[in-house]
Amino acid sequence: MFTTRPELAGTFGMVASTHWLASQSGMAVLEDGGNAFDAAVAAGFVLQVIEPHLNGPGGEVPVLGWDAAKEAPFVVCGQGVAPQAATIGRFRELGLDLIPGAGLLAACVPGAFGGWLRLLRTHGALSLRRVLSHAIGYAGHGFPLSAGAASTVAMMESSFEAHWPSSAQVWMPEGGAPHAGTLFRNPVLAATYRGILETAEAASTDRDEQIEAAVQCFYRGFVAERIAEFCQAGAMDGTGQAHTGLLQYDDLAGWRATQEDPVQLDYHGYTVLKPGPWTQGPVFLQQLALLEGFDVAAMGASSAAFVHTVTECSKLAFADREAFYGDPKHVEVPLAELFSARYAAKRRRLVGDVADTGALRPGHPAGRRPRLPTMVGGEAGAEISEAVGEPTIRLRGTADGDTCHVDVVDRWGNMVAATPSGGWLQSSPVVPRLGFPLGTRAQMFWLEEGLPNSLAPGKRPRTTLTPTLAFRNDAQHRLGFGTPGGDAQDQWSLQFFCRHVHHGLNMQEAIEEPAFHTTHFPSSFYPRTANPGRLHVESRLGGETMAALRTRGHDVVVEDPWSLGRLSAVCRDRDGLLRAAANPRGMQGYAVGR
């Protein structure tokens, strides 16, 4: 089968990500003696610099890892919580029914920095300086600005000038939007990283103590102080008015990244691992549980039968996501029942030959009554309304992403899959003297009492960020993979996995098959719209297949041929070979290795 690039194979190490500079930085760390966890951290910090429209230090990251020495998987939660002042009542006082997707009101505690350093300290081997030097270098000396980042700054130019002058200073240093491909620097961010590193090295000569000092510097030192000061100053947001932020110094000082066990499901000889229901990750497993009852292998990898069956199972699983998922530290999520064969068999009977175009149909796991949000309308009301939601920038008709992803496997068998996001340059103003904006992940909460994902102080929003690990039960074939894409992440990743497992495609082949996703259920992002029955497909799926899907009742929207998803993947094969693959879509993702 022809692919745009080969599936890589080697024995030393592999890195695949959504940007070639991040992949190469991670590989350089492996060559420098680091392990997969060191490499992932280095790549993660580089992504904050080179893809500022897709992630940043003010955002968040869930990390799935396999520690070969301990022979155990783990999840690092780099998802910050809602501020103590962020209550439903407070937003009601402001006259809001939804949390706006742009500005300071939607900021949670920035979790990415703490998450990456938790991974480094607990599982890495190299010093903070050795892994952070790549990001400092690109921020200080410059990098070629991507077309997506340049387009995003151009889109926001008038808003920066009128409302967010701190953003204009960083992203338009010469008074206008920079051009794609030009050498771009962020010296303020470089100074922030250097300041953290210098503080850490001044505190101790011990590696672990330096990493801890860096965490303290971010969450209790000058970084936290400047964030808190800026939030109190306020800024224009997606409501069309200026508001002060709800995030305060004590919120940052009281937060720590944590490590927990993944949730899992056995499927066709694989154990599939995901983060918990503070992400949408378990929806991947629910889809697999539903597909267990279909002969997926007998369907063509891009046939109408495959697209229809996967899409209808997705609708059912995502309906349960809306009704039951939330931060398990605050709500009880019935995962055992949601994953059970009995529940899946009952839900599977709802999948028919005709597309479901009606209301969401959540189930009743363990007899529990589902509770769906009361959908509320509302459009962004400000001049910066283009900055709402998880940004999916379109450049010349091609979806250019909305998040990042990185996968690493090393010669010892360690593996990482991580999906950093948030802190987008177009969604919140730059914090002065730090060089990065805060995140807006709190927009994913509902301002309605009694829902699993209702806003509450100290609660994690149920995010869409969802890396995946999958291990053959003979432990000789391990996969790590993921993609940007908001609500579509666990649809595109599912297609990749099914095509690899059921249709025998290698990782690169599976990545390059035509992609599709449904928007049948409410978006996780402001303004939370839904399109019942809507199915987006890449045109490469073919006219005959699209016609068959329309005959089945799907509202088919044809997208450009290489426009949906930016998957990357690594694996350790049963013969000991390490492999990697990356997406040609967007012309940025690359895999490297030897």
Q: How do residues 574-591 score in pLDDT, each as one tens digit? A: 888 999 999 999 999 999
What is the pLDDT, as a whole number, of residue 233?
95
Q: What is the pLDDT of residues 158-216, one digit of tens each?
A: 999 999 999 999 999 999 999 999 999 999 999 999 999 999 999 999 999 999 999 99
Start-to-end CA span in the chain (Å): 23
Residue 187: cis peptide before it, omega within 30 degrees of 0: no
Are 366 and 334 contacting, i.e. CB atoms less than 8 angstroms apart?
A: yes
Q: Is the pLDDT of residue 341 over 60?
A: yes
**Rounded-to-integer distance, Cα 220 and Cα 395, Å:** 40
Q: What is the pLDDT of residues 58-93, one digit of tens each?
A: 999 999 999 999 999 999 999 999 999 999 999 999
- Top CATH class of 1-142+185-262+402-594 equals alpha beta
Q: Is the pLDDT of residue 454 over 90?
A: yes
Going from the C-alpha of 259 to that of each of 82, 186, 196, 330, 405, the distances in angstroms are: 19, 32, 23, 17, 19
Q: What is the mean pLDDT of residues 338-362?
A: 97
Q: What is the mean pLDDT of residues 248-272?
A: 98
pLDDT-derived band of residue 475, with 50, 70 and 90 as boundaries? low
Domain ranges for the chain: 1-142+185-262+402-594
Q: What is the mean pLDDT of residues 265-284?
A: 98
Q: Is the pTM of this model over 0.75?
A: yes
How many other C-beta atoms can be found within 10 angstroms of the C-beta atom of residue 88?
Answer: 17
What is the pLDDT, as a whole number, of residue 574?
84
The alpha-helical segments, DSSP class H, found in 254-334 are 282-291, 304-324
**Strands 534-538 and 555-559: what pairing?**
parallel
Average pLDDT, the chain: 94
**Rounded-to-integer distance, Cα 35 and Cα 412, Å:** 8
Q: Which residues contact 158 (CB under 8 A, 6 or more apart)?
A: 383
* 357 DSSP assignment: -
Are 464 and 281 contacting, i.e. CB atoms less than 8 angstroms apart?
A: no
CA dihedral 47, 49, 51, 54 (to 10 degrees): 80
pLDDT-derived band of residue 376, with 50, 70 and 90 as boundaries? very low
To 5 degrees, how large is the angle CA 343–CA 348–CA 351?
Answer: 150
What is the pLDDT, as a whole number, of residue 526?
87
Q: Per residue, what are the HEC states of 427-458?
A: CCCEECCCCEEECCHHHHCECCCCCCCECCCC
Q: What is the mean pLDDT of residues 213-225?
A: 98
DSSP element (H, E) containing 270: strand 270-274
Residue-wise burial string across 24-54, b where 16 or more C-beta atoms lie within 10 A, e elsewhere: bbbbbbbeeebbbbbbbbbbbbbbbbbbbbb
Are 590 and 23 contacting, i.e. CB atoms less than 8 angstroms apart?
A: yes
Q: What is the mean pLDDT of residues 231-236?
A: 96
